[in-house]
Amino acid sequence: MFTAFLIKYAEIGIKGKNRHLFEDALMHQIKFALKKCEGKFSIHKSQGRIYVEAQGEFDYDETVKSLKNVFGISGICPVVYVEDEGFEKLCDTVVRYIADVYPDREKTFKVHARRARKDYPKESMEINADLGEAILNAYPEMSVDVHDPEILLCVEIREKIYLYSETIPGPGGMPVGTGGKAMLLLSGGIDSPVAGYMIAKRGVKIDAVYFHAPPYTSERAKQKVVDLARIVSAYAGPVWLHVINFTDIQLYIHEKCPHEELTIIMRRYMMRIAEHIAMETGCLGLITGESIGQVASQTLNSLIATNEVCELPVYRPLIGFDKQEIVEVAQKIGTFETSILPYEDCCTIFVAKHPVTKPNVNIIRRHEHNLDEGIEELVKTALETKELIVAE
Ligand code: ATP
Ligand code: MG
């Protein structure tokens, strides 16, 4: 029955020139989201509205599911297109629409007509009244409520006539691409995919970097991160995932630095390398899945130590979340099941039994001096040998 969707979006802050950027980015993201859906679609803008129109057969449920992933959409209205074959015919179609969409018809309603085409023989008020009457005649159990109707039946008179009354909630947020780009430090854990999702929701495009430590971390651990990037791409668009071979750097730090500071120093090198790639690729910030106090390397003192090696801002959208709250989002967005697969984590391989929880930055810096030029060389090699995978 439905062959199109009217896309609603919150218009706050998109006045003037911004409006175009917002709408174009939204249409671009819709196109990407529908690429994997069965059927062909045309996406077009008309009089300040965006319509997604199926060209022939399509899978309704799959299409709605994909549209619900597109940030910037506040609501999705399934639309029935009717050929303009006279008002009588329109009345019949509207009566049938009510029967199909509302099997339980004991409801209040209101008809809201809009004429985008002024040569239509009836004015909006007249259309409202006459269609209302047709509905009441067909279904005496229904009643009109113009102030707070349970069903608001919209009738748009264009080349064709559009009928819609239902709004499926969208995810909100801003269309990806309207807010620049940032680099996500993506591990195989629960937190970082959620962090990436949250920043992408604000319109920021996401690139990612993963630190891989073969043979201590397996191919399967890496594949898990690629899979997570792909799940995030359903919301964020294609994710460029940079895979850094971190093994030699880790072994070298292990050899030269006190074990209880290993995690912190390793994290500092991850941040440095991530920032390097971020700056080369036009990213405006880094993103991590850190949350205060979750582990020793995420106390406020530890965060000072990992933060100070970067110039770019580090966005930590989960900073005040409990684990359970993060898990709930992970389940909602579909990353949880993949995140809990039990493959080794590069961070946990060399962890000390008693890592420092209150690292002193001066001491950390002094111990990093032990790494001298050796580390520079290893970082350079790691950057030169990085692998790029486009997850989508
Ligand atoms: P996550 O669930 O995201 O792995 P975590 O609770 O295991 O987080 P840590 O291992 O301390 O926490 O990592 C903190 C953050 O550092 C992660 O959220 C992620 O952003 C980044 N990170 C950790 N390990 C890696 C890695 N191997 N590759 C890329 N980023 C990483
Ligand atoms: Mg982790």
pLDDT tens, position by position, 119-136:
999 999 999 999 999 999
- C-alpha 152 to ligand 1 mean position (Å): 48
Residues that place a CB less than 5 A from ion ligand 2 = 187, 189, 345
What is the per-residue pLDDT for 283?
Answer: 98
Higher pLDDT, 39 or 47: 39
Q: Supply 377's token pair.
A: 């060389």
* Residue whose CA lies nearest to ligand 1 atom number 31: 187
Residue 346 has pLDDT above 70, yes or no: no
Residue 176 has pLDDT above 90, yes or no: yes
- C-alpha 317 to ligand 1 mean position (Å): 13
What confidence category does residue 348 fall into, taking pLDDT thresholds of 50, 70 and 90? low
**Closest atom of ligand 1 relative to the 213 alpha carbon:** 27
**Closest atom of ligand 1 relative to the 217 alpha carbon:** 27
Residue 372 has pLDDT above 90, yes or no: no
- C-alpha 208 to ligand 2 mean position (Å): 14
Average pLDDT over residues 256-284: 95
What is the per-residue pLDDT for 10?
Answer: 78
- C-alpha 3 to ligand 1 mean position (Å): 44
**What residue ranges line ligand 1, CB within 6 angstroms?**
185-187, 189-192, 209-211, 270, 288-290, 294-295, 297-298, 346-347
For residues 101 and 109, the answer to whether their CB atoms sit within 8 Å is no
pTM for this one?
0.92
Average pLDDT over residues 174-189: 96
Q: Quote the CA–CA distance of 184 and 379 in Å, as a whole number.
A: 19
Percent of the chain's residues with pLDDT above 70: 98
* Residue whose CA lies nearest to ligand 1 atom number 24: 187
Residue 329 has pLDDT above 80, yes or no: yes
Average pLDDT over residues 194-209: 98
What confidence category does residue 13 fall into, taking pLDDT thresholds of 50, 70 and 90? low
Average pLDDT over residues 362-386: 94
For every residue of the chain, which 3-state class applies, written as one string?
CCCEEEEECCCCCCCCHHHHHHHHHHHHHHHHHHCCCCCCEEEEEECCEEEEEECCCCCHHHHHHHHCCCCCCCEEEEEEEECCCCHHHHHHHHHHHHHHHCCCCCCEEEEEEEECCCCCCCCHHHHHHHHHHHHHHHCCCCEECCCCCCEEEEEEECCCEEEECCCEECCCCECCCCCCEEEEECCCCCHHHHHHHHHHHECCEEEEEEEECCCCCCHHHHHHHHHHHHHHHHHHCCEEEEEEECHHHHHHHHHHCCHHHHHHHHHHHHHHHHHHHHHHCCCCCEECCCCCCCCHHHCHHHHHHHHCCCCCCEECCCCCCCHHHHHHHHHHHCCHHHHCCCCCCCCCCCCCCCCCCCCCHHHHHHHHHCCHHHHHHHHHHHHHCCEEEEEC
**Closest atom of ligand 1 relative to the 298 alpha carbon:** 11
Cis upstream peptide for 215 (omega within 30°) = yes
What confidence category does residue 43 fall into, taking pLDDT thresholds of 50, 70 and 90? very high
Average pLDDT over residues 182-203: 97
For residues 25 and 70, the answer to whether their CB atoms sit within 8 Å is no
Residue 11 has pLDDT above 90, yes or no: no
What is the per-residue pLDDT for 349?
Answer: 64
Higher pLDDT, 391 or 259: 391
- C-alpha 287 to ligand 2 mean position (Å): 14
What confidence category does residue 47 fall into, taking pLDDT thresholds of 50, 70 and 90? confident
Residue-wise pLDDT tens digits, 145-175: 999 999 999 999 998 999 999 999 999 999 9
Percent of the chain's residues with pLDDT above 90: 86
Average pLDDT over residues 369-380: 93
